[in-house]
Structure 1
Amino acid sequence: MTQQLLQQLVEMRGIETHFVDAWGNPATIAQESQEKLLNVLGYNTTNETEIQRQISEDIQSVWLSPLNPVQVIRSGELLVVPVRLPIELVNDTHVLVITEESGEVSEFKVIPTDGELSASAHIDDVEFHEYQLTINAELPLGYHTMELRADSDVLASVRLIVAPKACYTPEPVAEGKKVWGLSVQLYCIRSESNWGIGDFSDLRKLVGYAASVGADFIGLNPIHALYPANPNACSPYGPSSRRWLNYLYIDPSVIEGFEHDDVQAILNREDFQQQLAHVRQVEHVDYEGVTRLKLALLRAVFDVYNNKYLKKNTKQNKAFKAFVAEGGTSLDMLAVYDALQSHLQKEGKECWGWPVFPDEYKDYHNPAVEKFKKANLTDVKFYLFMQWIAAEQLEAANQAAQDAGMTIGLYRDLAVGVSEGSAEIWGNKDLYCTDASVGAPPDILGPLGQNWGLPPMDPHKLYQQGYQPIIDLFAANMASSGSLRIDHVMALLRLWWVVKGDDAKDGGYLYYPVDDLLGILALESHRNKSLVIGEDLGTVPDEIRVKLADNGVYSYRVFFFEQAEDGGFFSPSHYPIQSMSTLTTHDMPTLIGFWHCLDLELGKELGLYPTEEILQTLYADRHKNKQAILDTLHGHNSVSGDVGHDVNVTGMTQPLNYGMQVHMAGGSSALLSLQLEDWLQMDKPVNIPGTFNEYPNWRRKLTQNIESIFDNGDIQSLAGQLTQARNNASK
């Protein structure tokens, strides 16, 4: 009986028991893993009585709610509303009141029994019925409210979301235009003027350079807010908040107040200039050095700007206050968190994240936090100011892309989660399960499985919160851009949860309300005119790929993974039109690294392969793959006769490198993304999955300044060939 009850609870909470792994083999989630997942969701599984009680509580909570907390429908669909009431009320006349986002109100008199009876239950000896009521309402796209009333009493209310059938696609792309663009890790950019890390001014320049040679977009790493007081926590995929921006990308020199004598005095100090020269010259981003310099200068600029504008009734202050008001609790939470973490750091206290904060500060909603905020208003205002400036500078880069006539412009990247010590969790702990982490089961990229250290959202709590956190994430990350790439887009369907202390391979899948989430994604996509790309690599069930395509989400196709059963590589002309193709990603080696097996050498040094046999198998597979690549390139006349036919004597050369890129450009994917590192023929990767301190992830810079890259005749020729190939593919 206990086992049956556990399985009932497992099914109720959407825990998967079986799945197909990355190699196409059936796999089973261990019973122990299923129970552990229930535990981190808050369930006590120690005895049958407790399990039965919790199941009853969950069932009761549904039946005692006359309406669901949120309902998502698509444009043109009938509005069918489930209503649950005690049997003595089901024959009474009720009123459904729909208040549209615009404020327009409609009322519908309903008798529950006029609908279709769909279920019934007994709660404390009271019989409840659920009816499906069909409401004849033509509602516009948007976020509306629906209330169930009896006389003047509001029995329940539901958030009603009306979404388009599919995500937005720009008209030129919808009409068949094939475009290409460059993907870049913004922090990697070198320039003549930045402070040892790429910034939004560099991005604005890059947009101009790239557009001038035919590019239609610039793809970015996640530019989410990280940790000013913990700069070495630098992974863009482990942020503090996904709604806000990384202040390190601010260019201080273009903020009004930078030329003030007080600011210039700091800038021109000998020690400051020495440190600035150092962070510019080093091979890897020195996050501690860059943070120290930028915080000092930005605080000085803020002091000037604050005194001149933000303490007076100026248009600048009105704009700043409007930004803060629109940011609401989320922005306040981040600013308070950053100020508090900095304060604790100065006191010499452990402060990597809220789990080690003093008890009174471990939750944003604690009275002590409000007291701290009131005592440190100027510090909090400084962090609000930085978010305002960052948003303005990002928008300037976006405007430059539009002015340059780019079809898409900037495309942003939404990380799958936030790190454990983040401000995002600090302010909404009820939503996140901090005793688990998001990851992946064993696959080609991670033979041991992956644990990303990112606590997942509880899908039930997300539903109870009317999906507002996910709405905010989509909207914030579509701002100032023409496209959004969603990292690990399978998260809309299911996520691999790893319980704290367990190996990644011992995790399990939890399902999410994919149809609702895709509806919200489509709505925000149209509101923000943002094309959506879903990173659908790894262990991907066929059902999600079909569902994503039907919802207008562009697939993500990596050349090295597009292989037939015989080992040959599919021609890019066979890729789905509704996709973005690429040769490599930030989690993969560069073209030179791949060809010369530098990633396998590094993996061996770092202990990423459990056995020598696995490593040798990878070497053998790589050898076969490289020969297959040469075969397909020559078979399609994508490279000249100067490139060898035999892998045993053919190294990576510029003609082979560029030939692979032009080969991709002739493909059928609507979008083609190329890595700037491969234009520069770099050999070192930016990230090695499964490593932390073993390799300088997220730090490796480009080898050239962006000002000089586009002066290179070979690169100009490559860009011209890419544009021509894309134009030919459009015909």
Structure 2
Amino acid sequence: MSDPDADLRRLAEAHGVYTRFHDLQGHEQTAAPDTLRALLSALGVPARSPSDLRDSLAVLSAPGLAGQLPDERILLADTPETLALPAPCAWALIDEHGALAAEGRGTDTLSLPRLEIGYYTLALTAAEWRKEIRVLVRPDRAPGHAEATGLTQCWGVTGALYGVRSAQNGGLGSYADLGTLAEGLARHGAQFLGINPVHALGWAETEIISPYSPSHRGFLNCDHIALEGGLGPTPEAALIDYPAFRHAHRAALEPAYEAGKDDPAFLAWRAAADPDTEAFAQFEALSERHGAETHRWPAAARKPGQGAARHAGARADFHLWLQYKAETQIHAAQGRAKGAGMGLGLYLDLAVGPRPDGAEVWLNADTIATGVTIGAPPDHLSPEGQSWALAAHAPTALASAMYLPLRKILWNLMSTCGLLRIDHALGLMRSFWLPEDGSPGGYITQPYEALLAVISIEAARTGCVVIGEDLGLVPDGFRDKMQAAGLYSYAVWQFETEDDGRVRDTSSLPEQSMACFGTHDTPTISGFWHGVDIEWWHRVGWMRAPERAERHSARAHQRAGLREACGLAPSARFDQVRDGINRELAGARSAMVAVQLDDVFDVQEAQNLPGTIDAHPNWRRRLPVDVAEVETAPELTATAARFNARGTAKTRGAA
């Protein structure tokens, strides 16, 4: 008799489910049978009963000659390729627009011509079998920073758009504020301005404020739309009152739509909108009318189509107008950034995934994994691990759709900015799924090389530079492949430590990387120096008093290491420490260096405490200065002076 547990493990491994993995401490963890069954089910592979196992294992046997061929090939652009054949057949290569790119007959092999980057389907036909192979043709490398900036090294600034103060935004940073901020920073030599994700959060979900919990990553957050005449100055309060802002902002958007719905520019944009844009607007209208729980909607509205359009009615036009305004304004901000001298301009962020109840899931039900959400095991960002409550696209289903949902999202973002950060890029190789039935989480293999190909294709088409946020439990070979594809690593200096906990010299940071001291998920320089993050971990109950004392002791050791790395005396003041950290980062060999606005202005509290929702005021903190004052602020002038020396002009003809 067969061993059910062994059969389950064999089936899991065949479908890319990890049966074991190593945790942050290097200890091997074995996935529980319940985890394997839940993750297989999420992939659409029955495994709940012995008969399920037998049937699913039987499917693994390759059927005939077609089963000897791959489902997918990844090729380099402008490079001829040969494919071995199991038997003679006719073949035709169809491009992504449905046009015939090449055809012929083969016996033992077929030879493909030199191809432009893009997506193709290779159809093989013989008397008794047929096979379709996905063909992804990628560039040798994604675009690099030097091509856009003309500099071998450059620097820029990151900050929270929602926290920007101005005389007109009424309480939340706007796309108009974004353009103003970018222009001011560009005049100081910054080559990019990075912000939190500006994905659509969902009009009906009034309680959602996290930029990393979007409804759809391919559309824009309408909270940042600037209104003609404005909403008055930002309130003095240090924390954002989202309900009050949204009440005032949305009340003003309604008459603005009535006044602008017949604008020829909007009408032309609407006429050119693709079906997904129209469906997204319908989703927003439906959620207003029927609530956020799509399973409670009328049956005809539970999936995109004519029924949904009918139920959405004329209100969908309002949501189309919102996307038009948001898109127009963020493109204007990019234009202002580039016009003022920013080589890269806006630096946007791609969140890990969408909310399960959001528009991205509704629009792409065929590729979404069921019964699971995305999270992370315990790591240095969150000692308790993280449940992100985000939906995942199932690898096989996404591949079968020629990665179209991802391609559209990437195109929409990359055509807006010059630099894109992929949050938790480790998920391109493997992602940690948490079953909704309460079983322990586990890892799923992702089609890493294919996803890198898709990213590099879309980056090449838009000229966008890409950073993969590679923090956490990094699998062997991950960074080598990512960098070989032209993507940049993400080097957070406070995490780059020796075995004894001291920070490494900045000369050890990867050349093909963006370096920074911290991020929105880490303590600021001031917060790190004063142990504010440790106090928060203790406050939310993640550690008891003895561990708190141990952490503060370890932080004192890290402070000593930073002083040593920066050449500072033990008696150095904090401002000297901050300046020393910036000086060392400016001297790093990393291609790009990012400085947080919070650090420019010595903000102590972090924007986010990973693993919390309400226990810490995540995504609510405002910048202490008005956007109109940033350009002339002495703090920015001093910071820019330290970083401007790092960029040197490329020599003509240099690679």
Q: TM-score range by the shorter chain?
A: over 0.9
CA distance in 1, matches of 2:323, 2:424: 26
The residue number in structure 2 matching 1:672 is: 593
Alignment-derived partner of residue 270 in structure 1: none
Query: 1:645: which partner in 2?
Result: 570
Kept in 2, the 8 Å contact 1:97–1:108? The answer is: no
2:645 corresponds to 1:695: no
Q: Is the 8 A contact 1:165 1:519 kept in 2?
A: no
Q: Please name the residue that 1:195 is paired with.
A: 170
Deviation at 1:585, TM superposition (A): 0.5
Q: Which residue of 1 aligns with 2:271?
A: 321
Aligned pairs for 1:271-350 within 5 A = 280-306=235-261, 308-309=262-263, 314=264, 316-322=266-272, 324=273, 327-328=274-275, 330-344=276-290
AA of the residue aligned to 1:216:
Q
C-alpha distance after superposition, 1:615-665 (max 9, x if no partner): 33322211211111111111xxxx5xxxx415xxx66x2232222112211
Structure 1 contact 667–729 (Cα < 8 Å) conserved: no
Q: Does 1:452 align with 2:385?
A: no
Distance in 2 (CA, whole Å) between partners of 1:706 and 1:14 is 48
**What's the CA shift for 1:188?**
0.9
Give the AA of the match of 1:581.
A
Question: 1:205 Cα shift?
Answer: 0.5
Q: Structure 2 vs 1, CA of residues 622 and 63 (structure 1 numbering), >3 Å: closer, same or farther?
A: farther
Give the alignment's TM-score, normalised by structure 1. 0.83
User: Match for residue 363 of structure 1?
Assistant: 302
Shift of residue 286 of structure 1? 2.0
Contact 1:176–1:670 at 8 Å: present in 2 too?
A: no
Equivalent residue, structure 2, for 1:549 = 483
Q: Deviations over 1:19-42 (max 9, x none)?
A: 333334444333442233223334
Q: Which amino acid aligns with 2:475?
A: P
Aligned counterparts of 1:101 and 1:79: Cα–Cα separation in 2:
21
- Cα pair distance change 1:571/1:172, threshold 3 Å: farther
Partner of residue 109, structure 1: 105
CA contact under 8 A between 2:66 and 2:129: conserved in structure 1?
no
- Could you report, residue by residue, the CA deviation over 1:528-586 in whole angstroms, capped at 9, with x for unpaired residues? 11111010001111310111111111010011111122333222122111000001101
Aligned pairs (5 A) from 1:88-487: 90-91=87-88, 93-99=89-95, 103=99, 105-111=101-107, 114=108, 133-149=109-125, 155-172=130-147, 177-253=152-228, 280-306=235-261, 308-309=262-263, 314=264, 316-322=266-272, 324=273, 327-328=274-275, 330-344=276-290, 351-355=291-295, 357-358=296-297, 360=299, 363-365=302-304, 368-373=307-312, 376-377=313-314, 379-487=315-423
1:15 aligns to what?
17
RMSD between aligned residues = 2.8
Paired residue secondary structure (2:323): helix
Matched-pair contact (CA < 8 Å) for 2:148–2:344: no
Tell me, which stretches of 5 or more residues in structure 1 are unaligned?
Answer: 85-89, 115-132, 259-266, 268-272, 345-350
Q: Kindly tell me: are residues 27 and 150 of structure 1, through their superposed partners in 2, closer, same or farther at Cα, counting changes over 3 Å? A: closer
| Matching of residue 716 in structure 1 with residue 645 in structure 2 | no
SS at match of 1:419: coil
Residue in structure 1 matching 2:558, options 597, 622, 625: 625
Alpha-carbon shift at residue 727 of structure 1 (Å): 4.9
Q: Identify the residue that residue 532 of structure 1 maps to in structure 2.
A: 466
Deviations 1:182-241 (A, max 9, x none): 001111111112121111111100111101111111011111000222222111111000
**Alpha-carbon spacing, 1:59–1:359, altered in 2? closer, same or farther (3 Å):** farther
What is the CA-CA distance between 1:320 and the residue it aligns to? 3.0
Q: Does the aligned pair in 1 maintain the 2:205–2:292 contact within 8 Å?
A: yes
The letter for the 1-side match of 2:465 is: L
Q: Distance in 2 between matches of 1:63 and 1:31?
A: 34
What code does the residue aligned with 1:300 have?
Answer: P
Deviation at 1:57, TM superposition (A): 3.3
Taking the aligned partners of 1:66 and 1:383, their CA distance within structure 2 comes to 48
Change (3 A) 1:82 1:11: farther
Distance in 2 (CA, whole Å) between partners of 1:453 and 1:106 is 45
The alpha carbon displacement at 1:482 in A equals 0.7
SS in 2 for 1:547: helix
Paired residue for 2:577, among 656, 676, 693?
656
How has the CA–CA distance of structure 1 residues 101 and 81 changed in structure 2, closer, same or farther, with 3 Å as cutoff? Answer: farther
Larger Rg: 1 or 2?
A: 1
Change (3 A) 1:399 1:154: farther
Q: Which residue of 2 aligns with 1:563?
A: 497
What is the one-letter code of the residue matched to 1:321?
A
1:516 aligns to what? 450
For 2:482 and 2:308, locate their aligned partners in 1 and report how far apart those are by CA, in whole Å. Answer: 42
Cα separation, 2, equivalents of 1:687 and 1:583: 15
Distance 1:362 1:29, change over 3 A: farther
SS where residue 367 of structure 2 aligns?
coil
Change (3 A) 1:568 1:452: same
- Per the normalisation by structure 2, the TM-score is 0.92
Q: How many Å separate the matches in 1 of 2:78 and 2:500?
A: 45
Residue number in structure 2 paired with 1:590: 524
Percent identity of equivalent pairs: 28
Q: Secondary structure at the match of 2:366?
A: coil
Matched with 1:129 is none
1:617 and 1:401, CA in 2 relative to 1: closer, same or farther beyond 3 A? same
Whole-angstrom distance in 1 between the partners of 2:552 and 2:265: 63
How many residues align structurally? 650
Alignment of structure 1 residues 486-497 onto 2, 5 Å: 486-497=422-433
